Amino acid sequence: MANKYIDINTLKYQLFDIHNIKDLLKYERFSDHSEESIDMYINAVKEFSDRELFPFIKEMDETPAYYKNGEVFVHKQVGEFMRKSGEMGLISAIFDYEFEGMQLPITAHNAATFIQDAANNHLPGYAGLTLGSTELITHFGSKELKDTYVPNMLAGKWQGTMCLTEPQAGSSLSDITTKATPTNTGFYKISGQKIFISGGDYQYVENIIHLVLARVAGAPKGTKGISLFVVPKKRINSDGTFTNNDVQTVADFQKMGQRGYCTTHLGFGDTDDCHGYLVGEENKGLKYMFLLMNNARIGVGRGAVAIAMAAYQASLEYAQERPQGRKLSNAGKKDPNEEQCFIIEHPDVRRMLLLQKSIVEGGLSLVLLTSKYQDIVSATSDKEEKEKYNLLLELLTPIAKTYPSEAGIVSVNNAVQILGGYGFCTDFIVQQYLRDIRIFALYEGTTGIQSLDLLGRKTTMQNGKAIELLAVEIMKTIKNASKFEELTLYATNLGGSLQSVQKVINHLMTFAKKGQFEKFLADANLFMELLSHVVISWQWLEMASHSIDAINKKENSYSIDFHYSKIETMKFYFKYELPKIKSLAESILNDDLVTIKTEKTLLF
């Protein structure tokens, strides 16, 4: 088992220096916080994660959640985690004072949750889903719903879930068939099946509150006919006792990773006695979910990049201690009388470590940046500022979800490679990280769906305004970096990559304008990858500029080596990763449309 799962200095450097969380404290919503209080919060969560999360990660994989006689059983640490998360105010931190929250910026919350994700990714989802489902109630629910459910959910006593997926409706939510039938007594009768529901049932909470998407009879077809309901596992009687609400746990899916985080199959209304309570108005359910979806998607990116961080730390530790082979001498000969060197001295191992570092820290930076945009959007009263950051947030959210998830898999795969044969063995944790991270590119919208969203909706919205705003932000970084002689080459390089993005968009738009949408979107995944590399290069240039400036000004919050490591990792990303956009652009600009289905049978 590795000793370390996170580089906390880098997290704090990004939070306080690169993304300047103090910028947010000028808004009234966050004015009770200070850099010191946020630092204390981060330290408290780190201490909590060291004690209550990291020690259980392996055990939770080895003793997965299971189903027996209609119930799901999980590791006992899930109960401890939820109880303590409630007591420490970790679930309620970002909520308004009205709900006993702390009005903590989401940026600080995501930094703190990143620590938990890195420590043990099987646990934070239980709290995260409770947070997300409670947010739906506080934003769109009636006073009665808020009074009945919010306090116990935020206290970690009741679990919250999100029930969207059905056997025939995964990526395509317009095909949801779960039924909601109105009654004369204020509730709806719910019936249907939901699959893959995370945190859907377990023994350590008093109640489970499902936020269920369903269709009221006669509602329009498609996404415009979907409503949102609160469906508790147990109904709450006026004297505070419970009555079973006809929600059955049908199964717990057995998975390759995140095995301690239960994933259930639920049946609603088998005996026609499942009560659901409408949230907001009928037929607006999906709209409500999507209004809060940015946070959930950024949370997925955060979780993925945290696992990649933990795997990087484990492989770095191994590479520093594993003797194997000898360094090539200048004459190109190895001297067998010399002692073996540690593998961290071999250039190929250093390449794999730097690749991980560049993905992890670049991905983390994007997660914190988008979190900051969310905070600005929620806190500012300036219309123009809100609109600008909202557009940037909309554009960057699919990337913040997808890049950490996809590049994170590559990153963790390199961690396994560094451990050689031991990487494949269960004595070492990296194989678990590889299994755990795999789900992130699937749930909360697959990579394919995120890419369609990025190219089909976000790039085109308001005639490309968001992409223009992004270019302006990137140009600011380029201009600033150009002030440092050591960075001019990289600044020019990033400027050139912006031109490639524009060329690719112009090419694809010709299809969109002609109404040839299949051609327009066929290579959306490639576009996602291309734009991701540009965005992550932007983050690295920003970090390198900051570090050069800190070295020049002899700032001593971090060591000179710490800053050099940022500058060198930027160079690595520009040498090995950014050039990939050339081949991606070439493929996108190539008009051979071999992936579009025609009369010919290609796939046997």
Ligand X SMILES: Cc1cc2nc3c(=O)[nH]c(=O)nc-3n(C[C@H](O)[C@H](O)[C@H](O)COP(=O)(O)OP(=O)(O)OC[C@H]3O[C@@H](n4cnc5c(N)ncnc54)[C@H](O)[C@@H]3O)c2cc1C
Footprint of ligand X (CB under 6 A)? 162-165, 170-171, 196-198, 255, 263, 439, 442-443, 446, 448-449, 452
**Which whole-number Å values give the CA distances from 73 to 102, 151, 157, 214, 551, in the listed order?**
32, 25, 17, 27, 53
- The CB-of-10 to ligand X minimum distance in angstroms stands at 29
Ramachandran quadrant class, 272 (left: phi over 0; alpha: psi -120 to 50; beta: rest): left
Q: Using the 8-state DSSP alphabet, how is residue 332 labeled?
A: S
Position 261, amino acid: Y
Structure-token pair, residue 95: 């909520």
**Residue 385 annotated in active site:** no
Q: Which of 195, 173, 183 is nearest to 251 (CA)?
A: 195
Output the smallest distance, CB 251 to ligand X, in A.
13
- Closest CA relative to residue 53, chosen from 109, 8, 119: 119
When the beta carbons of 450 and 539 are compared against ligand X, the nearer one is 450
Task: Kindly state the tokens that stand for 541.
Answer: 């240039």
Q: How far is the CB of 188 from ligand X (least distance, A)?
A: 19
Query: Which class for 595: exposed (0-12), middle (13-18), buried (19 or more C-beta within 10 A)?
Result: exposed
Pairing of strands 188-198, 179-182: antiparallel
Q: How far is the CB of 557 from ligand X (least distance, A)?
A: 40
In the complex, least distance from residue 280 CB atom to ligand X, rounded to whole angstroms: 19
Q: What Å distances lie between residue 162 and 214, 336, 432, CA to CA?
A: 12, 60, 26
Choose the catalytic residue: 361, 394, 444, 529.
444
Helix (H, G, I), strand (E, B) or coil at 408: helix
Residue with tokens 């893959």: 196
Pairing assessment for the beta strands 66-68 and 71-73 based on DSSP bridges: antiparallel
Residue whose CB is less far from ligand X, 176 or 354: 176
Residues 350 and 569: beta-carbon distance below 8 Å: no
- 196: Cα within 13 Å, side-chain hemisphere: 14
The b-or-e profile of 510-529 (16+ CB within 10 A means b, else e) is ebbeeeeeebbbbbbbbbbb
Pick the closer one to ligand X by CB: 46 or 255.
255
Q: 512 near 520, Cβ under 8 Å? A: yes
Q: C-beta of 4: minimal distance to ligand X in Å?
A: 27
Sign of CA dihedral 309, 312, 316, 318: positive
CB 248, min distance to ligand X, A: 17
Taking the least distance from each CB to ligand X, the nearer of 127 and 197 is 197
Closer by beta carbon to ligand X, 65 or else 352: 65
| Cβ proximity to ligand X, 133 vs 371, nearer residue | 133
Instruction: Please identify, using beta-carbon distances, which residue of 134 and 165 lies nearer to ligand X.
Output: 165
E-state strands within 30-127 = 66-68, 71-73
C-beta nearest to ligand X: residue: 170
Positions annotated as catalytic residues are: 444
